[in-house]
Structure 1
Amino acid sequence: MAETNFVDYVKIFCRSGKGGRGSAHFRREKYIPKGGPDGGDGGDGGSVILRGNRNYWTLLHLRYQRHIFAGHGEPGGGAQRSGKKGESRIIDVPCGTVAYDAHTGEFLCDITDDGQEVTLLKGGRGGLGNQHFKTATNQAPRYAQPGEPHEERWVILELKLLADVGLVGFPNAGKSTLLSVVSAAKPKIDNYPFTTLEPNLGIVEYREGKSFVMADIPGIIEGASEGRGLGLRFLRHIERNSLLLFVIPADSKDIKEEYYILLNELKKYNPEMLDKSHILAISKSDMLDEELMDAITEELPDLPYVFISSVTGFGIQHLKDVLWRELNSENYIPITVSRESLVHRNLDISQLEFEPEEDFEDEDDDDMFYDEDDF
């Protein structure tokens, strides 16, 4: 089986750099007796940093780079020369990446913005040279500080796709076809269950140059929250979608029941997903006449709905209008797109039925010293 290009979970070992030791050096020059201490400080160790990068959409580049080490700081020298700092390692990850400690499960950080940087492991501080320990009663200190040790840990990076609209539905509901019609995305489309084995993102162009991001999440089945089908692998991607578009085909035996099964799986995985705005798209509606549409409408759950056909384009523009309106509303506003508004495909958004809007640690020095005789 061909290897997927989409990777949303990796486990990596990270280690920061240790600090360089300070120098216990004395100035020794001709004609300058008792020059005194002039040992320089050690360089700080490099840190390991996570950085959001909008040019990445997968963690594939980290699959074969499991060990990431920052550089160590160099020791200080005489004549108050400081050691070179260790090189930090920056790990570029897609926006939407969450980091956890692999052993404790502790949440470390959440990268949501392009250019956002979070220090995973801080490099050790360089030790102070003996020039810092000269006093009136101790004018020739023969000791300096060692550098602070490095930090290391196993880290789990988990990607949760960031999108404005997430497509939710059973396998073969028409999600991939819809995404391919409204955007330039080219997801795999075929007539068998679980055709889509990885999430797909597409930019949906709207009126007057506006756009929003839509994500096609691989099919969910009953029991997915317990590991059935594709299991939990893709449910996490739905968490980061502002709005959930439930796609259920018109030839479904019971549209309302399918909707509640999908809703129940989301609730079991994360109850907070029920707080998102939900819209229902009844796909494959080109096979329906007005009488069937009326019959289906009477059995639909109580939420905004749109009849669409990705093959003929029926209802697609109206679906975009509804999604855009919902994405840009300050509060959730119930939206109803009826069969009558879809029969006349040239109606503009002003003819859709909307409810009126309301006004709305640094540690102290470890007191660890070493004598110049030790090196």
Structure 2
Amino acid sequence: MVYALAVVLSGTLNPVLMTGPDALTFNPAQLAYPERAGLSCRILDFEAEVVNNSFSLAQYNRYTGAFLDDRAKADLLRAIPASGFCGRGRLEARTAQFGYGCLAMSVRTTAEFGAALPKDLFELTLRGNELGRTYRADPLDVGALMLLRTGIAGATAVGRNLSVGGAVHYLIGLSCFELTEGSAYFLTTPDALISQGRVGYRTAAGGEGLSFDIGVSHWSDRWRTSLAVLDLSPGVLWEDGIEDGLLTFELDTVSAYRLFKGEGACAVIDRGPGSKFLTPLPVRVNAGVARVLRENLTGCLTLRAVMNMHPAALLSVRPALSVEVWPSSWLGTSLRFSFETGNGLGLELGAVAVWRSLVLQVGFEDIGGLIMGARGAGMRISLGYRGFPAGTKRAKSDVLRLTPGVN
């Protein structure tokens, strides 16, 4: 084999070296690596991420629960770019993951949410209204969805050093909320308060869809190369429990007295059953190359891109450089530096602990900055069982050494 049983048993955090059910998160073609495991499963696997483009962890700690004076308000407003505030979050629980040889399956629940808010809203909230200035809530975008994904994947070797793989996922939509339109403005003059806006939304409680993953991997004595396209799909078609809503409001009064009397203001909310609709999913492209630098040291360079297919748009690109070290046969550590368009630098620290065939993985990540300057954070915790390839036995000592050999 190319390595001793290190990669198979370690539950490596190096994405290009992952096999078994772990490979589904980066490239299903890695299921056919020559050092693939026997029966493997995940007992516990949870991942979370939250990030925004404006506020850092230091600002959160400094201002949460504190009185905001003019200096603090100015500091917060300076942090928001002119294009507005954007934030997103993601939770994923992999409730069942199994792998054997070149096959794997997984069941996972994913919740995602995001928001885009104009800077004017924060200025109006923090500083109050200024005479003669028009505050606009445009563009305004908020969305959230929850999916249950059931997938099966397989891979096969093509020749001595190449593998191809694919996966198909059945998507069950559990819930969805999204704004269909959102715009408003607010103006204060010496004689009047004037405001007008429209906010449309739709919700759904059930839907379904399919997505596909394809990938290719290449290996040599000390190298691994991987390329995959994940979540190729038209999207999730929502058909059950659909509701459309529209809020329209208008304020036009020449005095505060009329406003308090309820005159000059009008708000209407229309709700009703809606028709089925499609929510497109972003497509992910993963590419990477890894190398065994020493018997207990690996390096990896990855590139992850996320894009919309409808309409075609590149959402983010994230190159990363990582190093993984195994100081002993039962403990591995990982350090990863990344850069994401729109968010900047990121730092991830990870650790792997091995006891017999049980593997515990823990990872923490700073996004959009380092340490207290980070504008986001992520974490992952995973506990699983890693099986041996058929016909192999556990060595007493250096089973986790990354020793190159003959394929």
Normalising by the smaller structure, the TM-score range is: under 0.3
Between structure 1 and structure 2, the one with the greater Rg is: 1
State the structure with bigger RCO (CA 8 A, min sep 6), 1 or 2.
Answer: 2
Higher helix residue share: 1
